[in-house]
Structure 1
């Protein structure tokens, strides 16, 4: 009985999996933001590359 109780305490105190859960949640939020703002991000990237190409033509 003591062995089971001790293992349960260790499991509850252990924080190894918390870092993994945090990383997964951050990735989910980032993917959600990319999906929500996909058109705005595409327009921004396209405008940046257009500026780069126009300025590279002058060099």
Structure 2
């Protein structure tokens, strides 16, 4: 009975420790951000291309980027 009580106390103590929770939270946040980036990949690429068109105003840069080529070469199954 005494061993059971000791095991119960050790388990309760381990559950109260929050040492690794910060790391888990960061990993979950990164996973969510990567998922959102994959879902909205086309919109993000088009947004970046439009910004570069406004900033540089030169179509050679846009042709080098070719956002449709990026999307076609990285097809998600």
TM-score range, shorter-chain basis?
0.7 to 0.9
Unaligned 5+ runs, structure 2 = 58-77
Query: What residue number does 1:57 align with?
Result: none
Structure (1/2) with the larger helix percentage = 1
Query: RMSD value over aligned CA atoms?
Result: 1.4
Q: CA deviation at 1:3?
A: 4.5
Unaligned 5+ runs, structure 1 = 55-59
- Among 10, 15, 29, the residue aligned to 1:7: 10
The one of the two structures with greater contact order (alpha-carbon pairs below 8 A, sep at least 6) is 2
TM-score, with normalisation over the residues of structure 1?
Answer: 0.77
